[in-house]
């Protein structure tokens, strides 16, 4: 973000993105870097719109159609967690680094934190809440329990959805393939060995 000693702002908004430090320097704007005083007070006065832009979006989530009016900035992840009360999908970083937010969109595994809802008007979404059928766990869910493929459980919905996607992709042939293709899903509890065993079990039975 501009007007700080360095360009260290952690997040940037996709709408009305402000110019970066180097862009401003290129335009000849001087930033108050040197002196003992730094300031953000000199920021350009108007920035973005004062009211959110709202659009209508229809999505099917776990077989239920939802017609919604959404802020254009709402991600699929926040849509699920904050609007539909489907909190099984987790937020571990909100920046595409951990896979905790993995859901299946039209059958493909996707990091829902990096995905705006408006981009998926009409899509079919399956979340962890939609995997079990009539009270019977999905084979991967059962395998995760059998192999103790989690501790805290926070990465687990993402791991399971990712594994569903992995199996339907059909690319994983060996244990090393599974490890590699599951490496976008971090598990800080370190359950990787058991996650591998659980997925291998489900693949054998698939």
Residues of this chain, 92-111, that bind ligand FES according to CB under 6 A: 92-94, 96-101, 111
Max intra-chain CA distance, the chain: 66
CA angle centred on 157, ends 57 and 103, rounded to 5° = 30
Binding mask 93-132 for another protein (x = CB under 8 A): xxx-xx-x--------------------------xxx-xx
Q: Is 77 one of the binding residues for another protein (CB under 8 A)? A: no
Closest CA to 108 of 169, 196, 171, 186: 169
Closest CA to 78 of 129, 130, 117: 117
Q: Is 154 one of the binding residues for ligand FES (CB under 6 A)? A: yes
Tell the smallest beta-carbon distance from residue 44 to ligand FES (Å). Answer: 31
Identified binder of ligand FES from the candidate list 59, 187, 196, 202, rule CB under 6 A: 187
The Cα–Cα gap between 206 and 138 comes to 11
Partner interacting with residue 132 (select from ligand FES, another protein, none; CB below 5-8 Å by kind): another protein
Q: What 3-state DSSP class applies to 18?
A: coil
CB atoms inside a 10 Å sphere around CB 66: 15
Q: Interface with ligand FES by CB under 6 A: which residues?
A: 91-94, 96-101, 111, 113, 150-156, 187-189, 191
């Amino acid at each position: 973000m501009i007007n700080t000693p360095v360009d260290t702002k952690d997040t940037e908004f996709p709408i009305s993105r402000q110019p970066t430090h180097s862009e401003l320097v290129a335009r000849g704007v001087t930033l108050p870097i040197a002196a003992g005083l730094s300031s953000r007070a000199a920021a350009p006065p108007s920035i973005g719109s004062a009211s959110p832009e709202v659009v209508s979006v229809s999505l099917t989530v776990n077989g239920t159609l939802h017609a919604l009016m959404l802020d254009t900035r709402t991600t699929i992840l926040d849509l699920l967690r904050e609007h539909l009360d489907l909190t099984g999908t987790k937020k571990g970083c909100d920046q595409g680094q951990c896979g905790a937010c993995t859901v299946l969109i039209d059958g493909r595994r996707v990091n829902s934190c990096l995905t705006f809802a408006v981009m998926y008007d009409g899509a079919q979404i399956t979340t962890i809440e939609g995997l079990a059928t009539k009270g019977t766990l999905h084979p991967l869910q059962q395998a995760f329990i059998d192999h103790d493929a989690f501790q805290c459980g926070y990465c687990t919905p993402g791991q399971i959805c990712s594994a569903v996607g992995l199996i339907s992709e059909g690319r994983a042939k060996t244990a090393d393939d599974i490890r590699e293709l599951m490496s976008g899903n971090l598990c800080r509890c370190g359950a990787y060995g058991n996650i591998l065993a659980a997925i291998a079990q489900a693949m054998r039975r698939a």
